[in-house]
Structure 1
Amino acid sequence: MRAPLLSVLLLLFSLSTAFSAVIGIDFGARFIKVGLIQPGKGIDLVLNEASKRKSSSAAGFNSAGERVYSDDSFNLLGKLPEKQFIYSKMLLGKNVSHPHVRAFGDLGYPYRFGEDPATGAAIIQFDKDIRYRAEEAVAFVLSYCKQIAEKEAGTAVKDAVITIPAFFKETERMAMHNAASIAGLTVLSLMHENTAFAFKYGFDKESEFSTEKDTNVVFYNLGAASYQVSLVSFSSVMGKKNKTTGSLTVRSVAHDDALGGRLFDQAVLNILADEFTKQYPKVSSIRESPRAMGKLRKESERIKEILSANKEFKVGIEALHEDRDLKLVIKRSVFEERCATLFPRLLPPLEEVLVRANMAKGDVDRIELIGGATRIHRVKEIVKDFFGKPTSASINADEAGALGATLYAAKLSTSFRLRDFHITDSYPYAINVKLGSDAEPSSGGNDNESMDEAGEETDARKKGKDKLLFKAGSKFPHKKLITMSRTQDLQILLSYAEDGTPISAFNISGVSAALARLSNEKRMPIGKPKVSVTFALSPSGLLHVAKSEVAIEMQETYEDVEEVNLTGEELAAALAKEAEEVAANERDAAAADVETAGDEKEDGATSSNPAGTNATRTKTIIVEKERKRVHYSALVVEETVLSPVLPLNNTQIAEAVARNLELLKAENIRTANAAAKNEVEAYIINMRGTIPSDDTYSLVSSEKERVSLISELEQSEDWLYEEGRELDAEAYVAKLKELKALVAPVALRASEMVARPKAVSQALEAINWTFSIVETWAAENPEVTAEERDKVKAMCANFTEWLAAKEALQTKLSPADSPAFLSTEVSAKLQPIELEVRKIIKKPKPKPPKSNKAMNESASRPDASAAALDGESATAPAESKEPEAAGNSQEGLEAEKEELQ
């Protein structure tokens, strides 16, 4: 039901002819799941090489120094535990003193860490000469995800949404982005793990939500390395045209980033190790053996899962340590006793999530369990007892996270259009902002806050105070605008409000330069410039400056042109000049016609009236004016990361990409070599079994020939496992070609034993059919000439004669002899006959002769006939169309009459 249901729910269609698939990666600490979506194919999880829907998030190196992934890496924990790294994402953005890094040693993992001098981050020492950053270790796993997705999609995969714990801070989130870049992926967005599950849950159940009341769901997630609780409200929002849209809002999140399923695994491991020590007190300490502890670690995880459904389990581990076996019966009650300090830690996040959401237990409608460790019996009982209601099982805890991330990838991608569903996530940390110079923060609004200076002589005690920028639980993506009065460039510092850990410093320049550029003797600033900085929480939960500009209000003096009335001497001079012009016009008019002159005199008298022109006499002058104008200038923002662990820079990322590509290149070569070797091996095994056992091969070969071939095959098999064990693909291709050439004569005779009789039978059937159809041509197909019929008959006779001769030769040979002819020769010999018959069949039939009446009509209308022969329509006499038109009209009238009745 999974894939068909998603195909119905997911409303996707093509936006252009060129698309790329997108993926969603549920990157768990212990397991990864990859969802894939392609245009026209819907959405589903990607299967790995073992056809499983989830893979281990381990990666490392084998004894030959070759990189291995997933289950291949995890299975080496018992042999090379120090070279296999799991829980790599928990190292992102951490230094060697971080509790998560120290926990590996506390839990007995045989890993060695150093400090990256460039970033301060913990670096993994896989071997003496093999050191990788945490971003690279995570990139190994992401590269594996990319490979299996591309194999499934049959095309390149680049865009991805990757899940992360909600408690990841700026350094961890940036490190995950960089790890994806190293793996060749473009992060459309990071997505909180519980939110990915919630999106899939809400998308599937949208029809159950109401526009009047929210459905509140707690997502209880105990994963392998951390514990997270989210309270999410689902609803339907009424939109345009009375159409409802699904919506989810994360009300609150809470976590314990150190409590995970691996601590419960450790409890089982301690039981097993203690029992082994008890059974074999004189043997060296099992805890000092990385290999033995690796075996116990794998077995502990399996036993924990079994005890989730069974009250006891009989354990048997052979040759665990120094060839000693371990056998015991482990009970769930003993396991729970060992976890007595872990279970109480489940309660505080449950209480916190309600407090932060301002809700009571009764407000929660459903409880969804996600994360592998929630299968532990007592873990489920604790949440049921806390809320006083049973947990729900309506979500696939293994797959929903990856599918939710994939749906979100489709929502963000331009290649798909997804049914509208609103997502509002919650950022768990409060972020403080302060000025790095002489500014005193003051109170402001929600999204537009002021940080104005009190003045240039601000009291030093008031400088550099923290101000809340984003409160804990802020919805994101989100933007926040802060403003301040500044005359100089400034620095803004961000830090976590909880513990004051610095995040970044933003150096904002261009304020003083803009002020200097805009100011001159005719343009002076009014007050201090207003600097505005817009901080943003991206969809990935990363902090950055989205926009920064300065607004400078200026008092400007400028020149303007105005028209003013003439007065006094200016007006008198203008009137005198006009009177002279009128007199000149009258003198010119006197020389013309008397009547015309009279008219012109009358007009002239009218136009020479000074009283009528006094009000319209004006002149233009330049005057100075003042105005206020606000000028806006973009500012330059430079970020300096202040966190204890720095992100990789572009050069370091490029170096890591190159190292990853070298590993991928080596893997591709090994894959090609292995595939070529497997072909040789498969051919040897197949032919070595077929030649002595297949009855057909026994017929077409002698005993001596078969013995010789089997001997050659066995020698080749020995070569394959000895000197030919590790060669390149070209050597294996050449060997396969050699073996096929050796077996080819016998194989050909064996295949012809079946193919030749079949080809002969089909050919004779075709010849008989051809003879019969030729006989019908004379009577039914006048377009076929006698010469063509005779030609086909002759070709058929020649073929029959040739085939009879070949069969006569074949009957004289034994099956072990080379055949007199091959099935392919029969087909080739028959082909010219088939082509000739097809050519004749396609000949057009002759047109039927015209009747006498038609011929007479044609003779009476030569023009029309000629036009018709030329393919043109001739125009018939008008009277010839009238009866037809009348008939049509009559039919129309009758039809109309019927309709009226």
Structure 2
Amino acid sequence: MSVVGVDLGTMNTVVAVARNRGVDVITNEVSNRATPSLVGFGPKNRYLGEAAKTQEISNLKNTVASLKRLVGRSIKEADIAIEQQYISAPLVDVNGEVGAEVSYLGKKERFSATQLLAMFMGKIKQTTADEIRAPVTNLVMSVPAWFTDRQRRSLITALDIANISVQRLLNDTTAAALGWGITKLDLPSGDEKPRRVMFIDVGHSTFTASVIEFRKGELTVKGTAFDRHYGGRDFDKAIVDHFQKEFLANPKLKLDINTNGRARARVLVAAERLKKILSANQTAPLNIEMLMDDKDVSTSLTRADFESLVEPLLARTTVPLMQALAEAGLTKEDIDIVEVVGGGARVPAIKDRIQEFFGKPLSFTLNQDEAVARGCAFASALQSPIFRVREFVVHDVVSYPIEFIWEKANDIPDEEPNLVVFGKGNTMPSTKVLTFFRKRPFDLEARYYTPQDIPEGMKPWIARFSVKGVKPTIGGPDDYMTCKLRARVNPDGILNLDSAYSVEDQEVEEEIKEEEPKAEAAAGEAMDTDAPAEEVKPKTRKVRKQVRKDNLPVVSAANALEQPAVEDAKEKEGKMSSNDKLVADTEEMKNSLESFIYDTRDKVTKSDSGEEYDGVYVKFSSDADREKILNKLSDIQDWLEDDGYDTTMSAYRTKREEISALVGPIHQRWFEHDQAEREKLQAELAAKAAAKKAAEEAANANATPSADAGADAEMADADPAKSPTVEEVD
């Protein structure tokens, strides 16, 4: 069982695994600790992660970013228009979900956001498996706290398409809090005042603040607030917009980068680098060669000007902080520690605004880029039977209040047609039991109670449930059936109707529990202990209780992809993955053929500088053989540059076999000669070793005293007259 935590980011994705008695962040195929969250498409295959980043600027219209922010969304939502500003590929509707239209394998294709995310997660799965040398079958993944039921379901579906099961979806700041708290040994316990920490995560696209209380072995989220459109990319865009105006206004340039997608993308890359430089310096340069119309641009930006550009964003910094405190029912003075994570928080102006709000130093004890992934890995380890981890309970909260709506029963005039079942801030996971009195099957819907809180344009509808098997009870046609429905928001933040059943009032006998009788005999008085105790029957009483009777069938419909569609997506993903592997193997075979050509040419080439510089095959081949081989190598190299530039793996293999057929006999003669030389050398070394050993034994034998000499020595010791003496001389 793999123990993997994934921080799925808008810009980059970080993967952490539990191993070596700790948690490690793994590196990808180019040794980076974060993988770009990108999917690209080409004429022969897909580009995922680092490969997509490499070709992004040259393949803008076929590269899709912001996968996390697209999944589970509709093309009609207002936020999608905002996302299009950060995504070069055109966004379209794909069976009710937003997706992208790209050119793949030479034709136009449309992929939903769920499919795109599944492609990327397949890459993450393979990268992780290669690193830990074990299959990845399950993981814990972080999600923004503002994700709705539909977005969470779509994310789980994407993982299902990639053949990954979800152990748990964990809110970003909750994951960071888990990673912070699980290592602390000094947390308060019992009736002690809890330690209150506000975790602030400034990511690439979202600003989140959570107030969390810690006690020994547990954390409880008290309040969470967020700004969905406040992050690093918004600061980058402000810089790009500034330079767009500057370049257009410059009479020597007159360049409008908004008319050239590639030019704007290059400025965006430079703007991100400039922003990072300004975090440590007062001025940063921006230089781009051949930006547009063969013109170079060279300019700079000061930190003061940058902060002036992003002032509208900075003014919103404290809003989520105040909202989180209000939801928790606390003041900023109640917060013990302010822990900041997220790459966006490196902007000095953001840190200054947060610190000014709280009036106390900020804490940066966690790795800002990897804290969430590490927390997810800890959450995975807590659920794994193969790791021993300190027990730590996580109590998260429902981000949006959920209400149930149903059709009012005509014969129950006082019945309300709706009820808020899970309020904002309700602990998650949570189960509630709803009771209905009905004579016939009925339907009810779940929806968000405050549609204005969810992303603009998103439908508040969550799910519809049809309860079957309801009928009048045995008392008569006018008697209601009492129906109990168990609604549950699970640890992933997803609403389900776990079960439905009928109950019936029945008269049952219940034992009356009496208090223990007090001893009436005074101390020292005699007590009759020999008399046998009389058997006392327990007292009972008859009471009426609701007893569970029959299970009621429930038909559910939610914002999730139907299983046949999921299976179809899995099949398509399997075919695309196989094609990617075939293309990669073909390219590897082509590179192997090229290397084989150069290596063989070196081995059969006769040098003009003397025999010592000849190739190793020269002594074992004739001039005619070498000429034939060199001609074949030249022909195949010409073929590679022409018809063989893009062909099949079998064609490359055939060409290699043609070279091997000519070189094979020569290689065999060289190999036999080389083997004989090795054996001869080994024999000489063995002979030298044997001679050296014999010489050492002979020397040792000559140095060892004889038996007679030993006897004489013993006699000398026994007879003082024959022993050596030392005389002192003046």
Q: Same fold (TM over 0.5)?
A: yes
Q: Answer yes or no: is the 8 Å Cα contact 2:45–2:583 preserved in 1.
A: no
Is the alpha carbon distance of 1:769 and 1:147 closer, same or farther for their aligned partners in structure 2, counting shifts above 3 Å? closer
How far apart are 1:129 and its partner, in Å? Answer: 2.0
Corresponding position: 1:50 with 2:30: yes
- What is residue 530 of structure 1 aligned with on the other side? 482
Q: Amino acid of the residue matched to residue 21 of structure 1? A: S
- What is residue 126 of structure 1 aligned with on the other side? 102
Select 1:678's aligned residue among 591, 595, 609: 591
How far apart are 1:168 and its partner, in Å? Answer: 0.4
How far apart are 1:395 and its partner, in Å? Answer: 0.6
Which SS does the other structure have where 1:129 is aligned? strand
How far apart are 1:192 and its partner, in Å? Answer: 0.8
Q: Which has the larger displacement, 291-300 or 713-722?
A: 713-722
- What is residue 516 of structure 2 aligned with on the other side? none
- What is residue 467 of structure 1 aligned with on the other side? 419
Q: Amino acid of the residue matched to residue 232 of structure 1? A: I
Distance 1:652 1:699 in 2: 60
User: What does 1:162-561 correspond to in 2, within 5 Å?
Assistant: 162-204=141-183, 206-211=184-189, 212-236=192-216, 246-279=217-250, 285-438=256-409, 456-458=411-413, 463-464=416-417, 466-499=418-451, 501-512=460-471, 515=472, 519=474, 528-553=480-505
Q: Answer yes or no: is the 8 Å Cα contact 2:114–2:157 preserved in 1.
A: yes
- What is residue 635 of structure 1 aligned with on the other side? 552
Distance 2:545 2:199 in 1: 57
Corresponding position: 1:23 with 2:4: yes
- What is residue 80 of structure 1 aligned with on the other side? 59
Q: Answer yes or no: is the 8 Å Cα contact 1:696–1:753 preserved in 2.
A: no
Distance 1:689 1:357 in 2: 74
Distance 1:370 1:216 in 2: 17
Is the alpha carbon distance of 1:352 and 1:649 closer, same or farther for their aligned partners in structure 2, counting shifts above 3 Å? same
Distance 1:631 1:379 in 2: 57
Structure with higher helix content: 1
How far apart are 1:132 and its partner, in Å? Answer: 0.9
Q: Amino acid of the residue matched to residue 35 of structure 1? A: A
Which SS does the other structure have where 2:131 is aligned? helix
Which SS does the other structure have where 2:58 is aligned? coil
Q: Answer yes or no: is the 8 Å Cα contact 2:604–2:616 preserved in 1.
A: no
Distance 2:330 2:589 in 1: 63
Query: RMSD value over aligned CA atoms?
Result: 3.2
How far apart are 1:102 and its partner, in Å? Answer: 0.9
Distance 1:766 1:525 in 2: 105
1:370-390 deviation line (CA, Å, top 9, x unaligned): 222111111111111111122
Select 2:574's aligned residue among 653, 661, 671: 661
How far apart are 1:24 and its partner, in Å? Answer: 1.8
1:401-433 deviation line (CA, Å, top 9, x unaligned): 112212212322455443311111122111122
How far apart are 1:751 and its partner, in Å? Answer: 6.2
Gaps of 5+ in 1: 1-19, 237-245, 440-455, 557-626, 774-901
Q: Answer yes or no: is the 8 Å Cα contact 1:87–1:225 preserved in 2.
A: no
Corresponding position: 1:114 with 2:92: yes
Q: Answer yes or no: is the 8 Å Cα contact 1:162–1:190 preserved in 2.
A: yes
Q: Amino acid of the residue matched to residue 444 of structure 2? A: I
Select 1:730's aligned residue among 650, 660, 665: 650
How far apart are 1:234 and its partner, in Å? Answer: 1.9
Q: Amino acid of the residue matched to residue 29 of structure 1? A: T
How far apart are 1:488 and its partner, in Å? Answer: 2.9
- What is residue 145 of structure 1 aligned with on the other side? 124
Distance 1:552 1:225 in 2: 53
Is the alpha carbon distance of 1:768 and 1:496 closer, same or farther for their aligned partners in structure 2, counting shifts above 3 Å? closer
How far apart are 1:706 and its partner, in Å? Answer: 6.6
Q: Which has the larger displacement, 742-751 or 351-360?
A: 742-751
Select 1:93's aligned residue among 40, 51, 72: 72
Work out the percentage of aligned pairs sharing the same amino acid: 26
Q: Amino acid of the residue matched to residue 55 of structure 1? A: T
Distance 1:397 1:635 in 2: 49
Distance 1:375 1:301 in 2: 12
Which SS does the other structure have where 1:395 is aligned? coil
Q: Answer yes or no: is the 8 Å Cα contact 1:91–1:134 preserved in 2.
A: yes
Distance 2:241 2:136 in 1: 43
Q: Greater Rg, structure 1 or structure 2?
A: 1
Distance 1:743 1:438 in 2: 90
Aligned residues: 641
Is the alpha carbon distance of 1:361 and 1:284 closer, same or farther for their aligned partners in structure 2, counting shifts above 3 Å? closer
Q: Answer yes or no: is the 8 Å Cα contact 1:104–1:111 preserved in 2.
A: no
Q: Answer yes or no: is the 8 Å Cα contact 2:431–2:486 preserved in 1.
A: yes
Is the alpha carbon distance of 1:487 and 1:156 closer, same or farther for their aligned partners in structure 2, counting shifts above 3 Å? same
Is the alpha carbon distance of 1:183 and 1:528 closer, same or farther for their aligned partners in structure 2, counting shifts above 3 Å? same
Which SS does the other structure have where 1:310 is aligned? coil
Distance 2:154 2:381 in 1: 23
Q: Which has the larger displacement, 277-286 or 694-703?
A: 694-703
1:662-688 deviation line (CA, Å, top 9, x unaligned): 110100101111222222223334454
How far apart are 1:291 and its partner, in Å? Answer: 1.7
Is the alpha carbon distance of 1:769 and 1:103 closer, same or farther for their aligned partners in structure 2, counting shifts above 3 Å? closer
Q: Amino acid of the residue matched to residue 588 of structure 2? A: A
Distance 1:296 1:497 in 2: 43
Q: Answer yes or no: is the 8 Å Cα contact 1:45–1:403 preserved in 2.
A: yes
Corresponding position: 1:718 with 2:694: no
Is the alpha carbon distance of 1:334 and 1:710 closer, same or farther for their aligned partners in structure 2, counting shifts above 3 Å? farther
Q: Which has the larger displacement, 179-188 or 484-493?
A: 484-493
How far apart are 1:653 and its partner, in Å? Answer: 1.4
Distance 1:306 1:253 in 2: 32
How far apart are 1:274 and its partner, in Å? Answer: 2.0
Select 2:563's aligned residue among 629, 635, 650: 650
TM-score normalised to the size of structure 1?
0.66
Distance 1:657 1:333 in 2: 51
- What is residue 834 of structure 1 aligned with on the other side? none
Is the alpha carbon distance of 1:467 and 1:682 closer, same or farther for their aligned partners in structure 2, counting shifts above 3 Å? same
- What is residue 33 of structure 1 aligned with on the other side? 14
Q: Amino acid of the residue matched to residue 633 of structure 1? A: D
Q: Answer yes or no: is the 8 Å Cα contact 2:603–2:618 preserved in 1.
A: no
Q: Answer yes or no: is the 8 Å Cα contact 1:524–1:555 preserved in 2.
A: no
Is the alpha carbon distance of 1:382 and 1:711 closer, same or farther for their aligned partners in structure 2, counting shifts above 3 Å? farther
Distance 1:258 1:504 in 2: 27
Q: Amino acid of the residue matched to residue 729 of structure 1? A: M
1:511-548 deviation line (CA, Å, top 9, x unaligned): 21xx45xx2xxx76996432211111111100011221
